[in-house]
């Protein structure tokens, strides 16, 4: 791939711009439909940056890109540190956007986890909420935003038109590659998602980091939390097996906490830290290798 420009590495002013866009696409049930309409008709630099983000994401997320990123990042030879330190490291990912209205990464993670905890879910579910976006440290390793966030989707088979901005897949070389551009591509009917390569990003990366330590529903939540074309649109039922369908009930349970737990009141990190340190110690090794 040719050298990328700064605009191609970071089309968004911050990663939250993508998340805000998802929230507008899938507003909390009960919120006025007006919000969605405003989003559709409103011409703004932010929407242009989201379009540009998806143009790049859909162009460059090829089957080969996924294999290359896995070969590099699944060596876990970049850094090693205690989990809490890694969460603070993630928080050095600073926004260019208005600091008054945007929460930092740690605040989003604590709000997600605290909402799960308030509803009385098991502690591993709370821990999942707390760490689910740690994979975004990929940005700190110089990865372009479209290799870190964005709706995730299978590669190696036809891109679904249920994925946001499907027209941009025309520029993805896999769309013209007959190994990859049929309904099943390199896969078979209901072969199971474990056989399926997903577009590269923070979801798959954290799944690979935690796969030996957390209960299976937690791993599904982590691995597929950005797979909106499946959990919202059911676009890939032909690849999921019965076990995936069962486990996706957990992904569906997790999603509202991720999307709808944002509140302007920032959590008090120092007060919550001992509880989360204990949870980390219960399930995870002392250090995380990134």
User: CB under 5 A: which stretch of 74-82, 235-243, 254-262, 272-280 binds Fe ion?
Assistant: 254-262
Shortest distance (Å) from residue 226 CB to Fe ion = 6
The residue among 82 and 256 lying less far from Fe ion, judged by its C-beta, is 256
Pick the piece of the chain touching Fe ion (CB under 5 A) from 29-37, 89-97, 131-139, 211-219: 131-139
| Binding mask of the shown chain, residues 47 to 86, with x at each position contacting Fe ion by CB under 5 A | ----------------------------------------
Alpha helix locations (H) across 136-263? 202-210, 216-224, 228-231, 242-260
| Contact status, residue 59 vs residue 168, Cβ threshold 8 Å | yes
Nearer to Fe ion, 173 or 266 (CB): 266
Minimum gap (Å) between residue 215 Cβ and Fe ion:
19
- The torsion angle over the Cα atoms of residues 91, 92, 96 and 100, rounded to 10 degrees, is 50
Pick one of 16, 114, 143, 258: the residue that binds Fe ion (CB under 5 A): 258
Whole-number Å distance between alpha carbons of 249 and 239: 16
Q: Which of 114, 133, 143, 244 binds Fe ion (CB under 5 A)?
A: 133
Residue 21 or 174 with smaller CB distance to Fe ion = 21
Helix/strand/coil percentages in the chain, nearest 5 = 55, 5, 40
Q: How far is the CB of 231 from Fe ion (least distance, A)?
A: 13
- Write out the two tokens for 111: 């709000």
Pairing of strands 80-82, 287-289: antiparallel
Q: Identify the bridge partners of residue 198 per DSSP, sorted by sequence position.
A: 154
CB of 22 to Fe ion, least distance (A): 9
For residue 225, the minimal CB distance to Fe ion (Å) is: 5
13: DSSP letter: S
And the tokens for 188? 């078979």
**Binding positions for Fe ion, rule: CB under 5 A:** 133, 258
């Amino acid at each position: 791939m040719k050298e990328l420009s700064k605009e191609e590495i970071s089309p968004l002013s911050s990663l939250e711009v993508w998340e805000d866009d998802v929230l507008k696409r899938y507003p909390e049930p009960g919120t006025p439909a007006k919000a969605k309409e405003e989003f559709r008709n409103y011409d703004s630099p932010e929407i242009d940056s989201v379009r540009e983000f998806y143009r790049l994401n859909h162009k460059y997320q090829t089957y080969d890109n996924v294999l290359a990123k896995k070969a590099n990042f699944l060596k876990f030879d970049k850094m090693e540190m205690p989990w809490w330190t890694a969460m603070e490291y993630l928080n050095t990912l600073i926004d260019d956007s208005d600091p008054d209205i945007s929460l930092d990464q740690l605040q989003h993670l604590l709000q997600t986890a605290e909402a799960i905890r308030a509803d009385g879910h098991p502690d591993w579910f709370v821990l999942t909420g707390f760490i689910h976006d740690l994979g975004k440290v990929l940005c700190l390793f110089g990865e372009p935003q479209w290799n870190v966030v964005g709706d995730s989707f299978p590669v190696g088979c036809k891109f679904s038109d249920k994925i946001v901005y499907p027209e941009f897949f025309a520029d993805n070389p896999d769309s013209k590659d007959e190994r990859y551009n049929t309904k099943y591509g390199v896969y078979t009917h209901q072969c199971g998602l474990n056989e399926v390569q997903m577009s590269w990003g923070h979801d798959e990366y954290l799944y690979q980091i935690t796969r030996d330590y957390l209960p299976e529903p937690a791993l599904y939540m982590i691995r597929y939390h950005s797979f909106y074309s499946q959990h919202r649109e059911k676009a890939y039922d032909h690849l999921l097996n019965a076990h995936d369908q069962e486990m996706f009930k957990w992904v569906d349970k997790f999603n509202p906490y991720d999307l709808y737990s944002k509140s302007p009141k920032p959590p008090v990190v120092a007060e919550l830290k001992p509880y989360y340190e204990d949870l980390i110690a219960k399930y995870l090794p002392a250090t995380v290798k990134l």
